[in-house]
């Protein structure tokens, strides 16, 4: 996901309400999130659906990596040679 541009991607709720179609087009074309403010404070972020899915996949991958690191640190890892032998045994069946 691209970073938002402060001068283009932050808009008040009132402006968003009146120009929703153009803002949807903007996020689809730029792949940047749109930050919606209310009373001068950020209240919501609107993302392109594809960018949201990609972000979720990255988060899941990072969580899997973190889980793996924890397992290795706890001594629950598998030696590379043992893992390779196990995979090759399954493939050959």
CATH superfamily, domain 6-47, is: YefM-like domain (3.40.1620.10)
pLDDT reported for residue 55 = 95
pLDDT reported for residue 34 = 96
Q: Return d(Cα 42, Cα 34) in angstroms, integer.
A: 10
Q: Return d(Cα 20, Cα 15) in angstroms, integer.
A: 8
β-sheet bridge partners, residue 88 = none
Q: Return d(Cα 7, Cα 29) in angstroms, integer.
A: 17
Q: Enter the pTM of the model.
A: 0.70
pLDDT reported for residue 1 = 79
* Domain locations in the chain as residue ranges: 6-47
Rg (CA), the chain: 22
């Amino acid at each position: 996901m691209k970073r938002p541009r402060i001068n283009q991607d932050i808009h008040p709720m009132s402006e968003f309400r009146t120009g929703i179609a153009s803002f949807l087009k903007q996020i689809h074309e730029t792949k940047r999130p749109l930050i919606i403010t209310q009373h001068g404070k950020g209240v919501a972020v609107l993302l392109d659906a594809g960018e949201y899915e990609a972000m979720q996949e990255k988060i899941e991958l990072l969580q899997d990596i973190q889980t793996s690191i924890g397992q290795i640190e706890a001594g629950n890892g598998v030696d590379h040679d043992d893992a390779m032998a196990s995979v090759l045994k399954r493939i050959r069946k």
